[in-house]
Structure 1
Amino acid sequence: MLLDSMEAIDSDRIAALVDYGADYADYLVCALLPEDAQALDDSFTRITAI
């Protein structure tokens, strides 16, 4: 599952959506702004761009 262009949603709702999606998708990829990514649990693997 790919989630992109989520900056219109607040960080708490993004985190809830990612937690929900992680239960149903084998792979979940999210393109997030750094401040939104901070709301996610540390158990998620992160890849950052330079």
Structure 2
Amino acid sequence: MHPIEDHVCIASRRWSAEEKERPLAASLGPDGAILKVACAAGIQVRQLFRWRK
């Protein structure tokens, strides 16, 4: 069992299409682990799911 990591809440902001492109592409790829991609991009998982819609 892995310990749960604390995630920092990020203030609301606007993301340009270019800023969204990289994490979206990474999340749709073969190794696209959503949590890892979101953490690397500095966004919450739910935000990445919204962008994918």
TM-score (norm 1): 0.31
Structure with more helix by fraction: 2
Higher relative contact order (CA 8 A, sep 6+): 1
Larger radius of gyration: 2
Structure with more strand by fraction: 1
